[in-house]
């Protein structure tokens, strides 16, 4: 399909600028049995675990040059990662399991086809999906999400280093074009830098680059329904994959990056690239509906050790804000895994933006990236532990409710009217005027901030008291330290005596540790068995409740069917009496019609006999005429045969005379050939005369 056709189909769907995916409403089981096809199709399940993928990058050039040992082993077929380190001071042997594991030799296309492509298909079916990369700085998060430049796509194949975002964009357009559906698509691109939200698609106000102070942050607002929205975030409507590639390249160039000892181009901010797709469908009654899906692609900034990264001055603050937001993200994950009553979403703008992706109605996939080098062992273990805990989070994905196209047009007109009113108010009022609905939103935000400040003040008082208690504890510890130092001098004298005893105790300790490990292994197996039994019991209970509800519904339907059958019997009896009356009338009508038809047939039979007698007389006359014509024809043919024989005999005699004449005059014809050629008419006359002779 050429670009003009694609542009035409892309623009056929009208959308409101304020339109966002609407989550479907969970209904009761009785209502779900009669649910309409185009309504919400939520299934009353217990949720879906967050999918966690681990990717290990290969050693970089510096690590290869230093010949650093590798402490990570990836078992892709088992979905496991092993961390092994044996030194004189520390022994580590841990194994973590994940949904999918991609080792150092894995390629971008392999990761996308096996793990990301099914998620993109879910977006096109009307789900909201989130994919975000997490890990230490320098482990390949941005490479995994964005990769290298797209460049020219030859025969539908990207360069091998192209990341998830361009491949997902291309798959979306390929599927939509293959289905030949009308659609509309818009994208947003933002970054979270030092807890300030920046719009990467906003028009450039200066040429000083992304560090220019003229770039103003935009506000994150509460929507009054437990969610958030970003005021003033630029939304760009797109119709081609190339346009999205340019937007992605333009926004990435504005992103805050810096050089550090751990990464030549370290991301100093979190970014969220969102694609919202509206696809037009038709319901069974011919109404045009809109199916909406949203894909959030999140590239988190990497956690880092300030000492190892060599951060100074402003970079220290950036690293602190990054680590703070990631720490809050870890606390949110812990609260969701432990089913805590309070989940600290509000402690960071990052967790507020990802609230629906963690424990909400979105399908979420986390890509944890690690380094195999021993120098990053501590950060690698933290990442693996974080990702392993995140596997236990349960989301409740729901298909977005279909919306009528007429409703979207109404929202569009309302949005235009609101913007007109704001422009008019700006012209008429002195100073800055805020519309009433926006003022209410800001007031709700202020109240929420005031409540947060009160809670923080309460926490501050509590922390002060805790600090005083810790100070007292520190003082007592100081006195105890002095006493212990005196005792230490005394115990040093007895150290030589206790060394032999210590060796014996160490041997016993080894045996005791082995016994403890065996007991811990048995206890872990027993706990796992107990958990599995508890899970099976809860599943059986839910299945019994489901069967009971279905039985009640079945009884109600049987009662309705009995009522319908009684009504049908009464209708059948009435219909039989009415049918008998109608049949009597029909019988009388048919009898009268039969008598009329018999009379009409008798008259037709008389007419037919009369016409048949006339026709037979005419046929006899025609037969006599045909016989006379036949005799005349036979006599004519005989005379023609006689004439033909006479002509044949005359022709043969004339031909023999002509042949003899030609042989006698052949010499004369040769001499006068040129003369005869000049006068062909005379030659023809002579030949004709010879023939007649």
Measured CA to CA, the distance from residue 122 to residue 294 in angstroms comes to 10
CA distances from 382 to 96, 135, 368, 388 (A): 12, 9, 11, 10
CA distances from 592 to 401, 540, 600, 603 (A): 66, 75, 13, 17
Phi, psi of 24, deg, nearest 5: -75, 155
Give residue 47's region: left, alpha or beta (phi > 0; psi -120 to 50). Answer: left
CB 279 within 8 A of CB 124: yes
Q: Which helix (H) or strand (E) holds 258?
A: strand 257-258
Alpha helices in 180-286 (DSSP H): 241-254
Phi, psi of 82, deg, nearest 5: -115, 140
Give the DSSP letter string of 574-585.
Answer: HHHHHHHHHHHH
Q: Which residues of 520-534 are buried (b: 16+ CB within 10 A; e: fewer)?
A: eeeeeeeeeeeeeee
> For residue 85, what are the contacts with CB-CB under 8 A and spacing of at least 6?
71, 91, 92, 374, 377
> For residue 36, what are the contacts with CB-CB under 8 A and spacing of at least 6?
none
Strands 196-199, 183-193: parallel, antiparallel or unpaired by DSSP?
Answer: antiparallel
Q: Six-digit token pair at 412?
A: 């569009």
Q: Which residues of 295-308 are buried (b: 16+ CB within 10 A; e: fewer)?
A: bbbbbbbbbbbeee
Sign of CA dihedral 633, 635, 637, 643: negative
DSSP structure class, residue 21: P
Q: Is 302 annotated as a binding residue?
A: no
494 by Cβ neighbours in 10 Å (0-12 / 13-18 / 19+) ranks as exposed
CB 255 within 8 A of CB 267: yes
Q: Is 138 annotated as a binding residue?
A: yes
Instruction: Give the closest residue to 160 by CA, choosing from 110, 100, 103, 102.
Output: 110
- Mind spelling out the 3-state secondary structure of 479-528? HHHHHHHHHHHHHHHCHHHHHHHHHHHHHHHHHHHHHHHHHHHHHHHHHH
Q: Which helix (H) or strand (E) holds 417?
A: helix 405-428
Q: Is 137 annotated as a binding residue?
A: yes
Phi, psi of 42, deg, nearest 5: -75, 135
Measured CA to CA, the distance from residue 83 to residue 376 in angstroms comes to 12
Instruction: Give the closest residue to 123 by CA, choosing from 173, 189, 85, 72.
Output: 173
Alpha helices in 263-393 (DSSP H): 306-309, 314-337, 349-353, 377-390
Measured CA to CA, the distance from residue 548 to residue 337 in angstroms comes to 31
Measured CA to CA, the distance from residue 193 to residue 301 in angstroms comes to 10
CA distances from 182 to 6, 11, 118, 636 (A): 9, 8, 22, 84
Q: Is 135 annotated as a binding residue?
A: yes
Q: Six-digit token pair at 583?
A: 């049949």
CB 553 within 8 A of CB 33: yes
Strands 363-370, 51-56: parallel, antiparallel or unpaired by DSSP?
Answer: parallel
Binding residues for ATP: 135-142
Binding residues: 135-142
């Amino acid at each position: 399909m050429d670009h003009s056709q694609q542009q035409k189909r892309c623009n056929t769907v009208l959308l409101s600028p304020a339109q966002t995916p609407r989550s479907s409403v969970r209904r009761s089981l009785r209502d779900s049995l009669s649910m309409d096809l185009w309504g919400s199709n939520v299934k009353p399940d217990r949720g879906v675990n967050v999918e966690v993928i681990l990717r290990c990058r290969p050693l970089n050039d510096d690590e290869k040059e230093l010949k650093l040992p590798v402490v990570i082993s990836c078992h892709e077929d088992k979905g496991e990662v092993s961390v092994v380190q044996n030194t004189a001071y520390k022994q580590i042997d841990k194994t973590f399991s994940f949904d999918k594991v991609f080792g150092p030799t894995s390629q971008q296309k392999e990761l996308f086809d096996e793990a990301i492509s099914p998620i993109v298909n879910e977006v096109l079916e009307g789900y909201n999906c989130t994919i975000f990369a997490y890990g230490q700085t320098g482990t390949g998060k941005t490479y995994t999400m964005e990769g290298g430049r797209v460049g020219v796509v030859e025969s539908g194949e990207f360069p091998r280093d192209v990341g998830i975002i361009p491949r997902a964009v291309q798959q979306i357009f390929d599927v939509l074009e293959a289905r030949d559906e009308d659609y509309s698509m818009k994208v947003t691109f933002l970054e979270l830098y030092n807890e300030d939200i920046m719009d990467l698609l906003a028009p450039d106000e200066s040429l000083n680059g992304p560090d220019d102070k003229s770039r103003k942050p935009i506000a994150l607002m509460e929507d009054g329904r437990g969610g958030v929205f970003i005021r003033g975030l630029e939304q760009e409507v797109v119709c081609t994959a190339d346009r999205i590639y340019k937007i992605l390249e333009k926004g990435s160039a504005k992103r805050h990056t810096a050089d550090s000892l751990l990464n030549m181009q370290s991301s100093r901010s979190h970014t969220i690239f969102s694609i919202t797709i509206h696809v037009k469908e038709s319901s069974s009654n011919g109404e045009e509906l809109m199916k909406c899906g949203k894909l959030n692609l999140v590239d988190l900034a990497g956690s880092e050790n300030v000492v190892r990264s060599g951060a100074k001055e402003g970079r220290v603050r950036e690293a602190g804000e990054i680590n703070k937001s990631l720490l809050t993200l870890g606390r949110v994950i812990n609260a969701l895994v432990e089913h805590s009553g309070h989940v600290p979403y509000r402690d960071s703008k990052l967790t507020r933006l990802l609230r629906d992706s963690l424990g909400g109605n979105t399908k979420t996939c986390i890509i944890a990236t690690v380094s195999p080098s021993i120098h990053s062992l501590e950060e690698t273990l933290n990442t693996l532990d974080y990702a392993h805990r995140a596997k236990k989070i349960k989301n409740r994905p729901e298909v977005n409710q279909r919306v009528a196209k007429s409703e979207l047009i109404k929202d569009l007109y309302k949005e235009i009217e609101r913007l007109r009113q704001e422009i008019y108010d700006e012209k008429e009022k002195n100073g800055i005027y805020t519309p009433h609905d926006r003022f209410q939103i800001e007031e709700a935000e202020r109240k929420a901030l005031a409540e947060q400040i009160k809670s923080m003040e309460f926490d501050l008082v509590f922390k002060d008291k805790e600090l005083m208690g810790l100070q007292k504890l520190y003082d007592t510890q100081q006195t105890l330290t002095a006493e212990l130092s005196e005792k230490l001098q005394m115990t040093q004298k007895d150290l030589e005596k206790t060394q032999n005893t210590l060796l014996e105790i160490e041997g016993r300790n080894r045996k005791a540790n082995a016994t403890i490990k065996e007991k811990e292994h048995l206890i872990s197996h027993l706990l796992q068995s107990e958990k599995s039994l508890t899970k099976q019991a809860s599943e059986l209970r839910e299945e019994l409740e489901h069967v009971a509800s279905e039985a009640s519904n079945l009884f109600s339907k049987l009662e309705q069917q009995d009522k319908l059958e009684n009504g049908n019997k009464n209708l059948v009896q009435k219909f039989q009496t009415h049918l008998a009356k109608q049949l009597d009338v029909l019988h009388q009508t048919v009898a009268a019609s039969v008598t009329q038809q018999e009379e009409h047939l008798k008259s037709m039979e008389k007419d037919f006999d009369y016409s048949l007698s006339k026709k037979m007389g005419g046929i006899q006359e025609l037969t006599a005429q045909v016989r006379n014509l036949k005799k005349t024809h036979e006599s004519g043919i005989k005379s023609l045969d006689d004439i033909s024989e006479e002509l044949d005999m005359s022709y043969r005699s004339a031909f023999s005379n002509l042949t003899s004449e030609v042989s006698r005059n052949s010499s004369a014809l040769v001499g006068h050939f040129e003369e005869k050629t000049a006068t062909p008419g005379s030659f023809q006359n002579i030949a004709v005369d010879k023939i007649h002779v």
